[in-house]
Amino acid sequence: MEKIYVTGHRNPDTDSIVAAMAYAALRNSTGHREYEAACLGHVSDETQIVLNRFGFQPPKRIHSMHTQVRDLDFDKPPVFSAAVTMDRAWAILDANTFTAIPVANEDGTLYGMLSREDVANYNMSLVSQGRMDNIPLFNVLSVLEGKVINDAGESTDVISGSVSIALPQSRENLCFQSTDTIVVCGHQPEMIRRALEMNVNCLILCQAELSDELRSLPTKTCIISTPNDAYRTIRLLFQSNPIGRICRTKDLVCFHLDDRVDDVREQMLKHRDSCYPILDEEEHVVGILTRYHLLRPRRKRVVLVDHNEAAQSVPGLEEAEILEIIDHHRLADIQTNHPIYVRNEPVGSTNTIIASMFQDKGLMPSANMAGMMAAAILSDTVMFKSPTCTERDIRTAERMARIANVSLDELGREIFSASMGNRSAEELLLSDYKEFHIAGHDLAVAQITCVDSPKMLERKDEFMSLMAKIAREKKFSMVILMLTDVLLEGTQLIFVGDDDTIKQAFNVTPKDGTVFLPHIMSRKKQVIPLLSALWG
């Protein structure tokens, strides 16, 4: 069943991770087993504490929603060994529309490609040569439905020689003159005797028996009996050659399951082969790809939670099919090709909305899931101190805590007392980092929620150096770091950019890129709206 990924924003916080997991659990519990929670970045220490506390593993991390080769309905023909006969391989090509089939080594890696053109070229060369060299005896017996009928044949492993059809004629004008010959004949005792006396490499009897007299002749010839007539025997004989000798093995262009379709399309325009082998992560052959498969690629499907802004979402989102959006932020710039289900509500946590959706479906989350959802609401509302927090958030968190049989106070202290001292400035800054585009201004706002902002402020120089680097490389108007202190109920603001912007937006006087903002707890409901009002 094709997966539907449920994912939050980049650099995900606890609300984003838990919302993806909770919504996937909700949909799967109603019979839709294809939903899978995913995340777009590193799981923070805070989120890991919550996951560990309630016995969950982090969601699968995905890196893009670009359409890849694995998303195409490519062909999956049988993958043959190089030792397989031409007869067997041609049966597959003839019965299907495949223009070629892959040939693999014993370990499943690519050996070559056998195309219809290769078969045609081989058949044409046989018309002029009429010779076979070192063909495995088992191959010959297989295609001819034959059997070895003499002792010399039992010790033979391969056969070689020019192929000769013995026609009825006098003994003096026999059609073969060398031991390096494969003779095909019917019930022709003189021909058979002559071949055995000359010790030809192989004698193939078509719908004929070998008399006791001829059977007793001393000979080194391998004798094969087949139920086929001479014409069919000759045709099948040449199809006993192993395909490994015929298939193309050089200058092969391969694609991998993770290759982007756009890149594949460019490569196809350069090489113009009829089809291309597809390999998996271990270089094993899994199928073949043609231009036809690129006409209508199957796009990845995704549900967005806790965001609806392209800059915060998964790379390649424009190539994916967005099915739903569950969010509590401002409406942003994501566009879809057709109407979708959107649930956007002014609450402090996405998990508050998802808890309501459980109720709408007449379902109750498991105790452990409810505990995680309570923790996520506490995290996103900063223990109900954020201005984004609503009475509904508080009631929902209390209900989830009762289901999980946990104390909200203890859970909150456990979350916000997570140690941050042993983490690098970059890890801290990017743990909850979002980029915005507001009225022609590009900026980034990171937030670290803690209970000891003065201690974090001691690392100001580290943070500012990193923020200046981000602003320079991405040409941002401003980079802001919010050190939101739960106990002080305010935010130490560290910024790189224009002082006047901060002064006008927050009506404060910053000093050396720092200012304390009392009662400012929310990036979404306070910082971004004030900047938008200033620049708008």
Cα torsion 10, 13, 16, 18: sign: positive
pLDDT of residue 176: 62
> Are residues 148 and 222 in contact, defined by beta-carbon separation less than 8 angstroms?
yes
Strands (E), 149-262: 158-165, 181-185, 202-206, 222-226, 255-256
pLDDT of residue 276: 95
pLDDT band at 342 (very low <50, low <70, confident <90, very high): very high
Tokens of 207: 């719908």
The CATH number that domain 425-535 falls under is: 3.10.310.20
> Are residues 326 and 304 in contact, defined by beta-carbon separation less than 8 angstroms?
yes
Query: For every residue of 250-261, which 3-state class applies, written as one string?
Result: CCCCCEECCCEH
**Per-residue pLDDT tens digits for 465-521:** 999 999 999 999 999 999 999 888 899 999 999 999 999 999 999 999 999 999 999
pLDDT of residue 524: 87
The CATH number that domain 4-67+300-416 falls under is: 3.90.1640.10
Where do the domains of the chain lie? 4-67+300-416, 425-535
**Per-residue pLDDT tens digits for 6-22:** 999 998 999 999 999 99
Q: Angle 340-342-345 (CA atoms, 0-180°, nearest 5)?
A: 175
**Per-residue pLDDT tens digits for 446-468:** 999 888 889 899 999 999 999 99
Q: What is the mean pLDDT of residues 168-192?
A: 74
**Per-residue pLDDT tens digits for 192-226:** 888 898 899 999 999 988 888 888 889 999 999 99
pLDDT at 394 over 90: yes
pLDDT of residue 420: 61
Q: How far is it, in rounded angstroms, from Cα 410 to Cα 503?
A: 38
pLDDT at 419 over 60: no
> Are residues 392 and 352 in contact, defined by beta-carbon separation less than 8 angstroms?
yes
pLDDT band at 173 (very low <50, low <70, confident <90, very high): very low
Q: What is the mean pLDDT of residues 332-360?
A: 95
Tokens of 369: 């899931």
Say if residue 252 is exposed, middle or buried (CB neighbours under 10 Å; 0-12, 13-18, 19+): middle
**Per-residue pLDDT tens digits for 130-165:** 788 899 999 999 999 999 999 888 889 999 988 888
- Residue count of the chain, please give it: 536
pLDDT of residue 235: 87
| φ/ψ (deg, to 5) at 417 | -95, 10
**Per-residue pLDDT tens digits for 234-291:** 889 988 999 999 899 999 999 999 999 999 999 999 988 889 999 999 999 999 999 9
**Per-residue pLDDT tens digits for 34-74:** 999 999 998 988 899 999 999 999 999 999 999 999 999 99
* Greater model confidence, 159 or 125: 159
Q: How far is it, in rounded angstroms, from Cα 194 to Cα 49?
A: 89
Quote the pTM value.
0.67
pLDDT at 172 over 80: no
pLDDT of residue 170: 44
pLDDT of residue 169: 57
Look-up: residue for tokens 């993770």? 258
* Greater model confidence, 296 or 319: 319
pLDDT at 179 over 50: yes
